[in-house]
Structure 1
Amino acid sequence: MTKTTLNYAETTDLVINKCVFSDIMKSMRVSGNMLINEEYLPPWSVSIPDASGLERLLKLDKGTQAVAFHYVKRGFIEVVPEVGELIMVEAGEMAICFGGVAHQLSQYPEKKSVSVESILIDGNNPFAPNEKNRVRSTSVMCGVFMLKNVELNPLLAALPKILHVSTKKFDISSNLTNILGWIDREISQTVQCTYVIERLLELLCAEVLRAHLYQLTTSSGWFYAMKDPIISRAISMIHAQPGDEWSVNRLAGGVAMSPSRFAARFNAALGDSPMAYVTKWRMNLAGRMLRESQQKVEEVAISVGYENVAAFSRTFKRHLGVSPAAWRVRLNYV
């Protein structure tokens, strides 16, 4: 069959979304840690530090980003960010703080917040209900996703600062509900398995992001582009062969569209030109290779499509702020 835009619109949408989504999820090396699984009687308020504060609290490796999340099992909570609007999170809903902003969790707060650090150090619940008033308490489960290779990640860049997701509204809600139930049971065990918890949190992060993909109603951004069969096909080509000699003409040919129409459609969806997307994804990959392998800078440059090492180094520094060599030193890889 001759390739046409209509062919792609009819046949490639779901397959391409899965391919690119999986590629980016794998690149982030997601793991996690649980912080709270408690019942709180109002009035109460718990403060959560920003991403850098969480990273220090949990003593995370350099280059690992902490993303706080909160799930309400019963009742409701108010998530009050240091910057931005209050979000009401009800039973069966989650708030995930991808923007890394400091925030408070509360219900009718009357006193100064208790820091999550003091709760973790003391090991006590300062807002615990008794048997008589337990029916008025809120049950909440909080943790942290730990992400690597976040620089120039198109998926993360497209997320709101606080993502609000329900486990009730989507076809994949049963997955979210099941995973959260497994996590709840595992952390309630007398002897917990850290490996199991980390893998469950990896699954939870992926399902949360898929839920966002399903609920999205906006007409621009990376998640919207994943629903566009033409743009998602082009992005899939880039991710499959990032080191190829890509051009607007070649990408447009791959989706059976004129270069001008393709470039306009790509830019309208992502707010970036096709070649800007290519460059950013290459630099994301290069940063990952420098972090996780012992490849020489010259080898990394060739892997992401640069025969000229000087040109690669200039592009890397322009996007990531330091040279490839300095990047390795900063992450203690020399």
Structure 2
Amino acid sequence: MIDVATLLPVPGAGLPQQDPWADLLGGLEMEAVFCSTGRFTEPWGIALPALPRTTMFHLLLDGRAVVDVDGDRHELGPGDLVLVPHGTGHRITGTVDDPATGLWDVDRTVVADRYEQLRIDGGGRPATLVCGAVGFTDPGAARLLASLPPVLRAPDGGHDAGDDGSWLRAVVAAIDHEVRRPRPGTDVVTARLADVLLVHVVRGWLEAEEPASGWIAALRDPALGPVLRAVHAAPGGPWTLDALAARARLSRSAFADRFAGTVGEPPMAYVTGCRMDAAARLLRADGASVEVVARRVGYDSVPGFHRAFVRRYGVTPGAWRASGAARSLAEVLGR
């Protein structure tokens, strides 16, 4: 897998030949947790539970809706898309005053293992929604997700949005077509198209925002960026605080303070996290033994690697490898 941190541009440096945003977003490796289409008439509403380690989304095809995430309200019109990146519990309703039914109490038809059709008939104004949640197979995706705000709204896809708006409207129209005319494989097509929209929203945020702290801020920092790229390129390297500070061209204390203040954790803790993320990928990808994986990520001691892995993921390396098979919807959502 291409490591996204090695490809992000740093202010003052020339852009690489590759498209850095494509590599960053492609590295997210999304997998559908569930996807649903909903046909509702007002008054209607759904209260969604918190779904840790997932990103939830709502695409309104027609009608109107309000998404409320801890008091942060977003009114939606046809074609609008909202992401809840951290899987926070929230409500989506026809209007602000509409009551919300718990997700598991909504009338539904199960179409496939992870695809359902929802219905609420209040007798009033209709609305059609595509909702769902995605997970991420690469443990490193957590760094990007942690940098995102609690709610993300897609850039305006209206007729004044130029070419960007045109293709966004085309994707929404394709989803709308699948929802209204179900065919074999509609659940797969709808989920894949939704993935495209999610990438679009995150890309828009990356292009528009310059956060003062967090992983993205550190990648763009002229001193910290080279350090992160080096660690991500070779997580098993002989990294020490002095070596990292030298690469940043800062004193040891200045580097440690700047790194912790921007990234949110000490430099060597970050290195350990990168090593464990690399180990997690290797354990599921190439079938190497735990001992081989430990050496490849910089550990001479298998017991030391074992302890670090358990601290990071809460399970042993062997248990992590065994859990790589796809989970059922009930297991994912704890139903």
- Offset, 1:294: 2.1
Question: Paired residue for 1:127?
Answer: 121
Say whether 1:183 aligns with 2:175: yes
Say whether 1:261 aligns with 2:254: yes
Say whether 1:29 aligns with 2:3: no
- Offset, 1:196: 4.1
C-alpha change, 1:111 and 1:165, in structure 2 (3 Å) is: closer
Question: Paired residue for 2:81?
Answer: 94
Which of 105, 109, 127 lines up with 2:92 in the alignment?
105
Give the 5 Å matches for 1:208-287.
208-287=201-280
Question: Quick check: 237-246 or 203-212, which moved more?
Answer: 203-212
Return the alpha-carbon distance in structure 1 between the equivalents of residues 240 and 170 of structure 2.
44
Code of the residue aligned with 1:100 in structure 2: it is G
Which of 10, 13, 17 lines up with 1:11 in the alignment?
13
> Residue 106 of structure 2 contacts residue 119 of structure 2 at CA under 8 Å; is this kept in 1?
no
Return the alpha-carbon distance in structure 1 between the equivalents of residues 189 and 109 of structure 2.
23
Say whether 1:166 aligns with 2:158: no
Write the deviation string for residues 60-115 of structure 1: whole angstroms up to 9, x where unpaired: xxxxx54321123455422245xx22422323543323332333211244555263
Give the 5 Å matches for 1:141-152.
141-150=130-139
Return the alpha-carbon distance in structure 2 between the equivalents of residues 108 and 199 of structure 1.
30
Question: Quick check: 279-288 or 178-187, which moved more?
Answer: 178-187
Structure 2 length-normalised TM: 0.74
Return the alpha-carbon distance in structure 2 between the equivalents of residues 85 and 44 of structure 1.
18
Structure 1 length-normalised TM: 0.74
Question: Paired residue for 1:85?
Answer: 71
Code of the residue aligned with 2:175 in structure 1: it is I
- 3-state SS of paired residue (2:42): coil
Write the deviation string for residues 111-155 of structure 1: whole angstroms up to 9, x where unpaired: 5526366433285633377xxx7xx54443322223224478311
Return the alpha-carbon distance in structure 1 between the equivalents of residues 89 and 214 of structure 2.
25
- 3-state SS of paired residue (2:45): strand
- Offset, 1:172: 9.5
Code of the residue aligned with 1:51 in structure 2: it is L
Say whether 1:297 aligns with 2:283: no
Return the alpha-carbon distance in structure 2 between the equivalents of residues 276 and 329 of structure 1.
26
> Residue 16 of structure 1 contacts residue 233 of structure 1 at CA under 8 Å; is this kept in 2?
no
> Residue 61 of structure 2 contacts residue 129 of structure 2 at CA under 8 Å; is this kept in 1?
yes
> Residue 85 of structure 2 contacts residue 152 of structure 2 at CA under 8 Å; is this kept in 1?
no
Return the alpha-carbon distance in structure 1 between the equivalents of residues 296 and 108 of structure 2.
44
CA RMSD of aligned residues (A): 3.7
Give the 5 Å matches for 1:59-78.
65-74=53-62, 76-78=64-66
Question: Quick check: 311-320 or 176-185, which moved more?
Answer: 176-185
C-alpha change, 1:188 and 1:253, in structure 2 (3 Å) is: farther
Return the alpha-carbon distance in structure 2 between the equivalents of residues 316 and 176 of structure 1.
41
C-alpha change, 1:295 and 1:95, in structure 2 (3 Å) is: same
Code of the residue aligned with 2:36 in structure 1: it is L
Return the alpha-carbon distance in structure 1 between the equivalents of residues 174 and 270 of structure 2.
38
Question: Paired residue for 1:62?
Answer: none
- Offset, 1:283: 1.1
- 3-state SS of paired residue (1:312): helix
The one of the two structures with greater contact order (alpha-carbon pairs below 8 A, sep at least 6) is: 1
Say whether 1:51 aligns with 2:51: yes
Return the alpha-carbon distance in structure 1 between the equivalents of residues 131 and 261 of structure 2.
37
C-alpha change, 1:202 and 1:44, in structure 2 (3 Å) is: closer
Return the alpha-carbon distance in structure 2 between the equivalents of residues 308 and 172 of structure 1.
55
Code of the residue aligned with 1:244 in structure 2: it is G
- Offset, 1:37: 5.0
C-alpha change, 1:37 and 1:295, in structure 2 (3 Å) is: same
Return the alpha-carbon distance in structure 1 between the equivalents of residues 303 and 47 of structure 2.
46
Return the alpha-carbon distance in structure 1 between the equivalents of residues 12 and 214 of structure 2.
22
- 3-state SS of paired residue (1:145): strand
C-alpha change, 1:178 and 1:305, in structure 2 (3 Å) is: farther
- 3-state SS of paired residue (1:294): coil
Question: Quick check: 224-233 or 307-316, which moved more?
Answer: 224-233
> Residue 213 of structure 2 contacts residue 261 of structure 2 at CA under 8 Å; is this kept in 1?
yes
- 3-state SS of paired residue (2:280): helix
Question: Paired residue for 1:59?
Answer: none
Gapped regions of structure 1 (runs ≥ 5): 1-6, 53-64
> Residue 283 of structure 2 contacts residue 321 of structure 2 at CA under 8 Å; is this kept in 1?
yes
- 3-state SS of paired residue (1:11): coil
Gapped regions of structure 2 (runs ≥ 5): 1-8, 111-116, 327-335
C-alpha change, 1:189 and 1:253, in structure 2 (3 Å) is: farther
> Residue 150 of structure 1 contacts residue 156 of structure 1 at CA under 8 Å; is this kept in 2?
no
